Structures are given as structure tokens and as C-alpha cells.
Amino acid sequence: MKAESGAMAATSDGIQVEAKVQGGLMKGLKRSVLGGESLFMTTLTAPPQGGWVDVAAYLPGDAMVLPVGPNGLNLTRGCYLASEMGVEIDTKWGGFKSIGGGEGGFLIHATGTGTVVASCYGAIDAMQLGEGQKIVVDSGHLVAFDPAVQFTTRKASTGVMNTLKSGEGFVMEFTGPGVIYTQTRNPDALITWLTTALPFTRS
């Protein structure tokens, strides 16, 4: 299996651990700089009798094993944790519509055969959308989605005053069919709160 650098928490005896740039230097740099993941990935290989690996994310929350479908799987920045060896992890341009959603225009795109372990901040929730069914998600609460799901980015409310009063910025409107995965907590909101709550010193 492959895992994000630093994600391994524990292994059974005999697991071989190797860290390297997956897919070459340029692909690794693209995944790191544009996708928000680490430059190096860890390959974990079991001995002939098999074994197990525990992985853990840096934020407290759920982890879920997600299938990589025929269209692949899109993950937002920082949500990739581990995957089977048959899965390729790359960076995909999500379009200008995802810039306003807080993803910087780029997504982590998983293709191939197997499963991905995605982590989140808080609890993870899966929502199956039917044909033409729509749902609106705050950009900071998005974890992953089926690339077949169509989406647009817009302001949560109309007018500057409504935006300031509601405290909501951009939201992403998804249209099915397909599955999207959300998290109950927002990492950006945590950073904002810590920035205002923690004391700082001037040099």
C-alpha cells in the first residue's frame, strides 16, 4: 500500500517501509505544490505471511475507505491518507470554478483499481445524489466527490451585507448523479480561531 508521508502510526512485524517520490520528481512536485500533499509518499510492503498497517491523520476526525470508480475519485487538499498500490494519485485542475471554493483550482485525483483512505476533520458523511438532485456544501466542509458529479461555485448569499452578516463565503452546488463526502468541521475555521485566540509575540 501507499501512504501520505508521516501517516503511518503502527505496523505489524516485518513490514518494509520505503519513502520515495512517486511517479518521478515533476509529478511529485506538482502533487506537493499544487495539491497540498507531501513530496514523498511511503510504500509499505508486507512479508509473505501478510500484515497490517495503521495510518493516522494530523487532524482529529474520521477516516473512510472509499472506492475508486471508473471515473476516478476527486479529493480536496489534505484529505488523502493512503491507498492500494493499484491506485494512482495525481493532481488535477478542477477549473476556475473550484478556486472560489477554496481549493486553489486544483484537486487530488485518484485513478486505477482499488481503494483510497480519506481523512477528515470531524465526522465524515456520504451523500448519494440522484439524477438531477442538487445539494449545496460550504467549501471548507468538502472531502471528496465522484468526478461525474457536476458542480459550480457561488456566494452563499447575495449582497455584501448579507455575506458579512451570515459569515458565509463561497459554497459549492453539486448536481447528481454521484456521491459526495463531507466533513462536519472546517479546518480553515480552526486556523482562523487559533489565529485570533492564541497570543503572539512581536520580534
**Which position has the grid cell 459554497?**
171
User: Is residue 22 predicted with pLDDT exceeding 70?
Assistant: no
In-domain check, residue 154: yes
**Segments forming the whole domain that contains residue 76:** 2-47+57-194
User: Is residue 44 predicted with pLDDT exceeding 70?
Assistant: yes
- In this structure, how many other beta carbons lie within 10 angstroms of the beta carbon of residue 157? 16
Q: What tens digit of pLDDT does each residue of 150-179 get? A: 998 887 755 444 444 444 567 889 999 999
81 vs 150: CA distance, rounded Å: 25
In-domain check, residue 52: no
41 vs 51: CA distance, rounded Å: 19
Q: What tens digit of pLDDT does each residue of 53-106 get? A: 999 998 999 999 999 999 999 999 889 999 999 999 888 766 545 544 444 557
201 vs 37: CA distance, rounded Å: 30
Which set of grid coordinates corresponds to residue 96?
476556475
Amino acid 61: pLDDT = 95
In-domain check, residue 201: no
Please count the structural domains in the chain: 1
Q: What tens digit of pLDDT does each residue of 2-17 get? A: 999 889 999 999 999 9
Q: Where residue 38 sits, what CATH number does that domain have? A: 3.60.160.10
Which set of grid coordinates corresponds to residue 34?
499544487
